[in-house]
Structure 1
Amino acid sequence: MKRSILIHPDPRLKKVCAEVPDMSDDLRSLADDMLETMYDAPGIGLAAPQIGILDRMIVLDCAKTDNGEDARPLVMVNPRIVAGSDERNIYEEGCLSIPDQYAEVERPKIVDVEWMDLNGALQRETFDGLWATCVQHEIDHLDGKLFIDHLKPLKRQMITRKMVKLKKELARERG
């Protein structure tokens, strides 16, 4: 089931999310909903707080299907970065909770991430390039951080003002 994505500013997007104690059918159903919502948006990552659920769960798929790569949906429960490279990368980031706004963000180029899969098994993988940026961006959401928090205050305030205006317009449209 497709879910509604929260738009910044929303206090739920600034909250630190709780660890998920164990797997459940509800969690698996939430993962399916999150993937459907992410693909529909369309996006390459989505964190549970973006749909108002304050649990440490993210979904991502950075496979370039237009280049013939097979989709690679990943569901990560309680993900954490266990190592990051000194080498940095700069990507122009966007966010489904901050529509049509993009800015360059610098992050470690390579990260090692541990997480629990939907069967409760511990996983660990090294991510590079866009995958590394995406997983760091989504984990930030679980800690109440948005990509604009990495920007200079003036740019962050400008984007926030645009989002406040967008939310007012959307509210008027809905009547």
Structure 2
Amino acid sequence: MAVRPIRVFGDPVLRSPSAPIDHIDDGVRALVQDLLDTVALPGRAGVAACQIGVGMRAFSYNIDGDIGYVINPVLVEVSGEPQPVAEGCLSVPGLWHEALRHPWAKVVGIDLDGNEVVLEGEGLLAQALQHETDHLDGSLFLDRLPPETRRIAMREIRESDWF
């Protein structure tokens, strides 16, 4: 369908928990296609529906060329001690800081046919699963930063040309 513009920090849709998708219809199919088109651009590991202005529980991912989506994803399991991982966000352009993330994660949801989807893994996939489900819960990676780093990041946002 279309590559959609990314909403940036300060947009209320990014801080609102996303609503579950109760019925798969043409609107949901179009949303999923837009998520896939939007995440396919170079340098993107994931896009949550709220990042394109839609407060519904779905995200797309692009990990090592594997592009897909999950509807109504739930982070059901993580393992390993949270570790600092360099992280950025399309909704906070230009900022990279170390956020605490578990080294392994598992998400369960459904596809457009209502079939169960299970995504699990480590490394960038684990980070993306945690990052995108955080978005759907109304949280940004900034919330995972240590207090001093968060203060620095907020100053960087205030001084950015996009804010």
TM-score by length of structure 2 reads: 0.89
Report the alpha carbon displacement of residue 112 of structure 1 after superposing the two structures with TM. Answer: 1.9
Determine if contact 2:100/2:145 at 8 Å carries over to the other structure: no
Q: Which residue of 2 aligns with 1:139?
A: 133
SS in 1 for 2:134: helix
Determine if contact 1:60/1:134 at 8 Å carries over to the other structure: yes
Q: Is the counterpart of residue 116 in structure 1 residue 117 in structure 2?
A: no
Determine if contact 1:85/1:111 at 8 Å carries over to the other structure: yes
Report the alpha carbon displacement of residue 90 of structure 1 after superposing the two structures with TM. Answer: 3.1
Q: Is the counterpart of residue 106 in structure 1 residue 100 in structure 2?
A: yes
Q: Which residue of 2 aligns with 1:30?
A: 31
User: Amino acid of the residue matched to residue 49 of structure 2?
Assistant: A
- State the distance in 2 between where 1:133 and 1:26 align: 28
- State the distance in 2 between where 1:158 and 1:107 align: 19
Give me the identity figure in percent.
33
Report the alpha carbon displacement of residue 45 of structure 1 after superposing the two structures with TM. Answer: 0.4
Q: Which residue of 2 aligns with 1:75?
A: 69
TM-score by length of structure 1 reads: 0.84
* Count of residues in Structure 1 that have an aligned counterpart in Structure 2: 162
* Ranges in structure 2 where 5+ consecutive residues have no aligned partner: none
Report which of the two has the higher share of helix: 1
Give the 4+ runs in structure 1 shifted more than 6 A.
none
Q: Which residue of 1 aligns with 2:6?
A: 5
Q: Which residue of 2 aligns with 1:91?
A: 85
SS in 2 for 1:37: helix
Q: Which residue of 2 aligns with 1:20?
A: 21
- State the distance in 1 between where 2:53 and 2:31 align: 12
* Ranges in structure 1 where 5+ consecutive residues have no aligned partner: 64-70
Bigger Rg over Cα: 1
Change over 3 Å in CA distance of 1:158–1:88 after alignment to 2: closer
